[in-house]
């Protein structure tokens, strides 16, 4: 069964199990009354998790040295075991992530875990190359860095550990993670499960490590420790800025604010359905999810009506201000930001808090606003999608470029015009550009290609995989070893 078929099967099973948003919210509320769906974990049982971050680094270093003693065949067995345990625990880790962070939807988190387990490339990503000629032969191979320091987000906690773990170990590295403090339990559980799987097939038992209580201080220790060779940072602007000042090589997967453009050649029914599915997936906390739309006037009404048919609730004019007042806040510098209390919450939860009633199958809140509205300019990380009416494709592209804010992260376009699609892709310059599909197609769900949960935007590696976490080494034998 292909990954996409598997994901479709699991989605159907999940929907049957948890139902629509309404059933999901009821289940979520129930957990306070009877804890039947809670997963209990004992911190002392985590494998690879240490009270002291220094110990985590020492253990990762030792395990990486042991990994270097093993064959590539054994490394492949290790990767296979990591995939297997991730698949077996995909739903359990999704439930834990949801309970701990309060973000997103269990069924979508399960899909993200499965996606990371199945579609993260392994050692096959490491291609050696050779040069031959009159002067002999030169071999180029991809080697590990050693210990990698990885700072992980609260929005995709277990799927990032699965994805980073497979990619980094496939390249021969070990990893010391600094989990987001608000997702530390599910992160430590993911690390522990993966370490156990590695150990059970004869690998080192602490290839993935973390401090039990991650803090800014433990992050600083990782960022400055001499045994940590490179930093991989997945998160918002602040952590990327701090890592960049560390003096180490940094692979930074920063924030996004992905625009979606719909022009007058698009298949509007499909575009509406795709946008609702993409923007509501895991309640919009994926950095790749559609966060604002630019729609041509001639198809605006049809698209909006189709979106409503597919589970969007359109805010009435007076409701826009009510919702904006609730879900937005100001930071200490007076800048408009999202209200943390609503990150990853469902559309129904947000509307309920605003005193607005909506159909129980509502997945996404939409609102017609102008391009300067915070629903367009702020990375909202919740299912609230501002839509701007535009009059030409050029206007749409120009406004989408501004909204994307130079993140060079992700953009989506619905159009049947190759020249419009090309023009937008060239102007937006994003690491991921999705044509005529939900944003998640760019990560390999209903789209071709491998997956990652660490899209290195500012530093330019794009969708990271084992080769991103490798050093390029060259060996030259002059005057020999050619066979012709
Ligand atoms: P966040 O920036 O709050 O946290 C990410 C990690 O950085 C956490 O481990 C956190 O503890 C740490 N951190 C935050 N500030 C720090 C500082 N000053 N010093 C050291 N460490 C610090 O992000 P989040 O809310 O968990 O995740 C959402 C953000 O991450 C969004 O902006 C989203 O776009 C981005 N993201 C990007 C990608 C990508 O692949 N490009 C993937 C996931 C999330």
pLDDT at 484: 86
pLDDT above 60: residue 42: no
pLDDT at 37: 31
430 lines ligand 1 (CB under 6 A): no
Expressed in angstroms and rounded, the spacing between residue 56 Cα and the centre of ligand 1 is 21
Question: Tell me, what CATH number does 144's domain have?
Answer: 3.40.605.10
pLDDT at 15: 64
257 lines ligand 1 (CB under 6 A): no
Q: What is the pTM of this model?
A: 0.93
Residues 300 and 194 occupy one common structural domain: no
Calpha distance 450→202 (Å, rounded):
27
Rounded to an integer, the average pLDDT of 34-45 is 39
Protein residue whose Cα sits closest to atom 23 of ligand 1: 235
- Which segment of 31-35, 167-171, 220-224 scores lowest on mean pLDDT? 31-35
What average pLDDT does the chain have? 93
Expressed in angstroms and rounded, the spacing between residue 150 Cα and the centre of ligand 1 is 11
Expressed in angstroms and rounded, the spacing between residue 458 Cα and the centre of ligand 1 is 14
Work out how many domains the chain is built from and give that number. 2
Please give the helix or strand (H or E) that residue 231 lies within, else none: strand 228-234
Residues 281 and 162 occupy one common structural domain: no
Angle between helices 184-200 and 157-170 (to 10 degrees): 40
Calpha distance 21→285 (Å, rounded):
16
Protein residue whose Cα sits closest to atom 28 of ligand 1: 235
282 lines ligand 1 (CB under 6 A): no
pLDDT at 416: 98
Supply the range of the domain harboring residue 295: 259-443
Is 110 a member of any domain?
Answer: yes
Is 484 a member of any domain?
Answer: no
Rounded to an integer, the average pLDDT of 10-34 is 45
Residues 169 and 298 occupy one common structural domain: no
Band the pLDDT of 8: cuts 50, 70, 90.
Answer: confident
pLDDT above 90: residue 45: no
Protein residue whose Cα sits closest to atom 44 of ligand 1: 235
483 lines ligand 1 (CB under 6 A): no
256 lines ligand 1 (CB under 6 A): yes
Residues 111 and 206 occupy one common structural domain: yes
Expressed in angstroms and rounded, the spacing between residue 179 Cα and the centre of ligand 1 is 10
Expressed in angstroms and rounded, the spacing between residue 153 Cα and the centre of ligand 1 is 5
pLDDT at 376: 98
Is 456 a member of any domain?
Answer: no
CB distance 350 to 356 below 8 Å: no
Expressed in angstroms and rounded, the spacing between residue 209 Cα and the centre of ligand 1 is 19
pLDDT at 127: 95
Quick check: helix, strand or coil at residue 391? coil
Question: Tell me, what CATH number does 354's domain have?
Answer: 3.40.309.10
Residues 245 and 272 occupy one common structural domain: no
pLDDT above 70: residue 175: yes
184 lines ligand 1 (CB under 6 A): no
Expressed in angstroms and rounded, the spacing between residue 199 Cα and the centre of ligand 1 is 30
pLDDT at 383: 98
Protein residue whose Cα sits closest to atom 41 of ligand 1: 253
Structure tokens at 264: 């007058």
Calpha distance 234→221 (Å, rounded):
17
Is 483 a member of any domain?
Answer: no
344 lines ligand 1 (CB under 6 A): no
pLDDT at 259: 98
Expressed in angstroms and rounded, the spacing between residue 263 Cα and the centre of ligand 1 is 33
Rounded to an integer, the average pLDDT of 270-286 is 98
Protein residue whose Cα sits closest to atom 19 of ligand 1: 239
Residues 185 and 54 occupy one common structural domain: yes
Calpha distance 363→22 (Å, rounded):
10
pLDDT above 90: residue 90: yes
- Which segment of 10-19, 328-337, 455-464 scores lowest on mean pLDDT? 10-19
pLDDT above 70: residue 393: yes
Tens-digit pLDDT profile for residues 397-413: 999 999 999 999 999 99
Residues 265 and 291 occupy one common structural domain: yes
Rounded to an integer, the average pLDDT of 206-232 is 98
234 lines ligand 1 (CB under 6 A): yes
Is 157 a member of any domain?
Answer: yes
Is 479 a member of any domain?
Answer: no
Is 163 a member of any domain?
Answer: yes
Residues 250 and 265 occupy one common structural domain: no
374 lines ligand 1 (CB under 6 A): no
Residues 225 and 316 occupy one common structural domain: no
Band the pLDDT of 23: cuts 50, 70, 90.
Answer: very low
Residues 218 and 294 occupy one common structural domain: no
Q: What are the DSSP calls for 115-153, one per residue?
A: HHHHHS--GGG---EEEEETTEEEEEEEEE-SEEEEE--
User: Which residue has better confidence, 39 or 4?
Assistant: 4
253 lines ligand 1 (CB under 6 A): yes
pLDDT above 70: residue 275: yes
Is 208 a member of any domain?
Answer: yes
Residues 223 and 271 occupy one common structural domain: no
Residues 228 and 278 occupy one common structural domain: no
With a pLDDT cut of 70, the percent of the chain lying above it is: 91
């Amino acid at each position: 069964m292909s990954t996409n078929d598997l994901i479709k099967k699991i989605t159907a099973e999940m929907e049957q199990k948890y139902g629509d948003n309404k059933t999901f919210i009821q289940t979520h509320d129930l957990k306070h009354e009877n804890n039947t769906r809670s997963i209990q974990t004992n911190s002392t049982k985590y494998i690879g998790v240490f009270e002291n971050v220094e110990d985590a680094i020492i253990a990762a270093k030792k395990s990486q040295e042991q990994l270097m003693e093993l064959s590539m065949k054994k490394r492949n067995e290790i990767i296979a075991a990591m995939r297997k345990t991730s698949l077996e625990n995909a739903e359990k880790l999704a439930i834990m992530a949801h309970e701990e962070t309060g973000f997103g939807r269990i069924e979508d988190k399960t899909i993200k875990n499965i996606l990371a387990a199945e579609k993260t490339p392994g050692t096959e990503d490491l291609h050696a190359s050779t040069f031959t000629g009159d002067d002999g032969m030169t071999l180029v191979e991809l080697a590990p860095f050693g210990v990698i320091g990885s700072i992980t987000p609260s929005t995709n906690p277990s799927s990032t550990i699965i994805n980073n773990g497979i990619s980094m170990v496939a390249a021969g590295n070990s990893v010391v993670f600094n989990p987001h403090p608000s997702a530390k339990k599910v992160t430590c559980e993911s690390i522990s499960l993966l370490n156990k799987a590695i150990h059970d097939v004869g690998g080192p038992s602490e290839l993935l490590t973390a401090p039990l209580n991650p803090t800014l201080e433990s992050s600083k220790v990782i960022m400055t420790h001499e045994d940590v060779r490179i930093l991989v940072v997945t998160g918002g602007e602040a952590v990327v800025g701090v890592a960049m000042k560390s003096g180490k090589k940094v692979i930074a997967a920063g924030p996004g604010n992905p625009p979606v453009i719909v022009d007058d050649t698009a298949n509007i029914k499909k575009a509406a359905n795709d946008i609702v599915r993409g923007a509501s997936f895991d309640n919009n906390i994926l950095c790749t999810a559609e966060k604002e739309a630019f729609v041509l006037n001639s198809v605006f009404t049809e698209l909006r009506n189709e979106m409503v048919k597919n589970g969007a609730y359109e805010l009435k004019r007076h409701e826009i201000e009510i919702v904006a007042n609730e879900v937005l806040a100001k930071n200490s510098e007076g800048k408009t930001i999202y209200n943390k209390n609503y990150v990853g919450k469902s559309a129904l939860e947000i509307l309920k808090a605003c005193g607005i009633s909506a159909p129980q199958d509502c997945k996404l809140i939409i609102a017609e606003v102008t391009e300067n509205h915070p629903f367009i300019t702020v990375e909202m990380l919740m299912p609230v999608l501002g839509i701007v009416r535009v009059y030409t494709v050029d206007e749409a592209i120009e406004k989408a470029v501004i909204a994307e804010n130079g993140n060079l992260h992700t953009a989506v376009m619905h159009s049947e015009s190759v020249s419009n699609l090309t023009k937008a892709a060239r102007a937006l310059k994003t690491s991921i550009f999705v044509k005529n599909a939900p944003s998640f197609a760019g990560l390999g769900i209903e789209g071709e290609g491998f997956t990652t949960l660490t899209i290195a935007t500012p530093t330019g590696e794009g969708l990271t995989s084992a080769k991103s976490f490798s050093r390029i080494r060259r060996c030259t034998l002059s005057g020999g070893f050619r066979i012709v």
